[in-house]
């Protein structure tokens, strides 16, 4: 077990991370899979949890557990203080103007659906248009298709080039008097492309159009300042940033959240109820019906403590070193295609091996202890753009090492030997 001070010690005087010290915080990284040391490269799907966050969850369950907001006894007040304290940490972490602009959700998908139901169904109608991109995860496509089907609205799509970069000139031409919302990913989960969201938000605002950013792959890997971006909504999940599953966040500008309809009805989201009328609670509680995942929310607060103690800029720099090293190594591999070669990329390396289905690649890598994701990554339009059904995807985080990249490359050689 380590303490937060050990994390601080993991930041070397030069500013670089002492990755071995970081790794000591993650007990799961000591596992062996098929007799080989685990090489965990599936972080875009879900990242691992440090001991500090695990300890915080255990402390809540063993000494603080109670329902929040409704009790006047010690445990309820303790749990409420910790849960709302975590909301304050989230506010500071993304630099939201106010804590009430931070809505707890079940995750990014839940956040995006909240905007669709609460904002889209109220303010988007027949003939209106919503702009999304070709790089979106299904969770930022399907809700808008459902809304278009219900309202008679239309989806417009920003296409990408062969490198996986959005065509910004085409994006600017998509706006017209019918455009009501832009919904875009900060970082492509399938390719790792970092989209120029600040510039894209400014373009949308020139037309008076609000912007929702899917930040599931953004917040875990770089410093995000929602006021600097000037986004109207920003959504992310805890489990992709070393936190627990079942908890996520929707940031929204207070003025917009106040205009929105609640997504779900129930306890905690009301001020008063009679059989004639319900008066809704103020934000953020208006959108948080029922008993929330209290432990997970407190765990998210501990996760933010951990990431801040390491430093988001240092994490981003470390991941840049990893993706640069991995890309150079993969370019030397015969019959291996990197899918997604954008100039500005996060730590995601999608690839195919000639003559081998990605699922077979993943299976053989698993035999070597290397965990990657295979499939369409819930981004089938991306696969269609590149004329492939699926890829294998290695995704890096703060605890990965250059030697793990070497292990991945060695495992690819084994795949080619078996299928060669």
Told to judge if 378 belongs to the known catalytic residues of this protein, a careful annotator would answer yes
Contact 94, 224 (CB under 8 A): yes
How far apart are alpha carbons 250 and 108 in whole angstroms? 8
Interstrand relation of 154-158 and 129-133 (parallel, antiparallel or unpaired): parallel
**Which candidate, 367, 340, 391, 377, places its Cα nearest to that of 139?**
377
How far apart are alpha carbons 87 and 1 in whole angstroms? 26
Vertex 161: Cα angle to 384 and 163 (nearest 5):
90
Give the Å distances, CA to CA, from 295 to 47, 59, 386: 18, 10, 41
Of 148, 160, 231, 378, catalytic: 378
Using CB atoms within 10 A of its CB, is residue 165 exposed (0-12), middle (13-18) or buried (19+)? buried
**Which candidate, 60, 47, 12, places its Cα nearest to that of 302?**
60
Residue 254: other Cβ atoms inside 10 A: 15
How far apart are alpha carbons 239 and 216 in whole angstroms? 9
> Residue 252 in 3-state DSSP?
strand
Q: What is the DSSP string of 173-208?
A: HT--TTEEEEEEESB-TTT-BB--HHHHHHHHHHTT
> Residue 356 in 3-state DSSP?
strand
Residues involved in catalysis: 378
């Amino acid at each position: 077990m380590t303490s937060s001070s050990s994390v601080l010690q993991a930041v070397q005087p030069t500013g670089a991370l002492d990755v071995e010290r970081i790794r000591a915080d993650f007990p799961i990284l000591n596992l062996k899979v098929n007799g080989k040391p685990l090489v965990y490269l599936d972080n875009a799907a879900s990242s691992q949890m440090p001991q500090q966050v695990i300890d915080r969850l255990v402390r809540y369950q063993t000494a603080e557990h109670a329902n929040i907001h409704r009790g006047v006894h010690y445990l309820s007040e303790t749990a409420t203080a910790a849960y709302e304290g975590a909301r304050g940490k989230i506010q500071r972490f993304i630099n939201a103007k106010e804590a009430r602009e931070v809505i707890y959700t079940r995750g990014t998908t839940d956040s995006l659906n909240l905007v669709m139901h609460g904002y889209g169904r109220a303010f988007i109608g027949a003939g209106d248009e919503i702009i999304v991109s070709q790089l979106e995860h299904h969770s930022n496509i399907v809700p808008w298709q459902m809304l278009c089907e219900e309202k008679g609205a239309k989806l417009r799509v920003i296409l990408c080039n062969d490198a996986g970069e959005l065509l910004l000139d085409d994006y600017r031409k998509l706006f017209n008097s019918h455009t009501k919302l832009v919904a875009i990913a900060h970082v492509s989960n399938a390719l790792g492309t970092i989209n120029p969201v600040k510039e894209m938000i400014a373009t949308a605002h020139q037309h008076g159009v609000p912007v929702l950013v899917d930040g599931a792959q953004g917040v875990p890997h770089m410093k995000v300042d929602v006021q600097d971006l000037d986004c109207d909504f920003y959504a992310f999940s805890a489990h992709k940033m070393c936190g627990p599953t079942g908890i996520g966040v929707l940031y929204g500008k207070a003025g917009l959240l106040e205009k929105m309809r609640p997504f779900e009805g129930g306890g905690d989201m009301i001020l008063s109820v009679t059989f004639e009328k319900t008066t809704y609670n103020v934000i953020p509680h208006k959108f948080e019906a029922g008993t929330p995942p209290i432990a997970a929310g407190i765990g998210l607060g501990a996760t933010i403590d951990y990431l801040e103690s390491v430093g988001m800029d240092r994490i981003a720099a470390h991941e840049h070193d990893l993706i640069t090293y991995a890309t150079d190594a993969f370019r030397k591999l015969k019959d291996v295609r990197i899918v997604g070669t954008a100039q500005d990329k996060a730590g995601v390396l999608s690839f195919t091996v000639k003559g081998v289905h990605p699922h077979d690649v993943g299976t053989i890598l698993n035999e070597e202890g290397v965990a990657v994701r295979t499939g369409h990554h819930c981004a089938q339009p991306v696969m269609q753009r590149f004329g492939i059904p699926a890829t294998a995807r290695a995704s890096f985080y703060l605890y990965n090492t250059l030697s793990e990249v070497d292990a991945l490359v060695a495992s690819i050689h084994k795949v080619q030997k078996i299928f060669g």
